Amino acid sequence: MDRRQRKTREAIFEAFTGLLSEKNYSRITVGEIIERADIGRATFYAHFETKDFLLKELCEELFCHVFDAAHDNGNGHRHIFACEETDSVFLHLLKHLQKNDNNILRLLSGENNELFIRYFKSGLVKLIENRNEFTRTNNSLPQDFWINHIAAAFVETVRWWVKNSMKLPPETINEYFLSVINISDK
């Protein structure tokens, strides 16, 4: 993707997230997105087939960055985030949430949060599946049940933290989370 295409895509994402903070996803029209992004209809459709594809791509851009960090070999991160964090994966996620990169908190806690929570949890499941260093203390549980439980617990930890105005530092929330689910995160 060249620079011009990236800038257009970022303008569309910015317009879309702005609209999502103001009203329900189902009430947002492509016309409103293109007006706010100051682009033409053909340009929008050159990037996204539908508003649903835009939502999916936005979630992938927001969440896959932090999930890709788990597979990064020190080359920095890609997508619309920029960081060089080397923390454990859950702490890394919490730090991004604390920074509120790309207004992610507004999306996770707003009127449309169930859409984003679903994508966030789905990404967490894939992340946990692909990480070998998460050790279970109870091997009698089915693997998919355990992974789902860990992902759901992290989502609820984030919800609790946001609801309580994120007063505690990410390091403390990470410790709470890891102790409750009783796993090690390296």
Q: Which H, E and C letters describe 115-172, residue by residue?
A: HHHHHHHHHHHHHHHHCCCCCCCCCCCCHHHHHHHHHHHHHHHHHHHHHCCCCCCHHH
Q: What is the DSSP letter of 107?
A: H
d(CA 52, CA 57): 9
| pLDDT confidence of residue 74 | 44
CATH 1.10.10 domain residues, the chain: 1-48
As a whole number of Å, the CA-based R_g of the chain is 18
Q: Give the CATH class of 1-48.
A: mainly alpha
| Mean pLDDT per 10-residue section of the chain, whose length is 186 residues | 90 90 87 97 96 86 65 46 63 81 65 76 84 68 89 91 90 93 63
**Predicted local confidence at residue 77, as pLDDT:** 46
Structure confidence at residue 162 (pLDDT): 85
Whole-prediction pTM? 0.73
The count of other CB atoms within 10 Å of the CB of residue 91 is 18
Identify the pLDDT of residue 73.
Answer: 43
Helix 143-163 with 170-181: angle, nearest 10 deg: 150
Which tens digit of pLDDT belongs to each residue from 129-154? 877 656 666 778 888 898 999 999 99
Which pLDDT value is given to residue 176?
Answer: 94
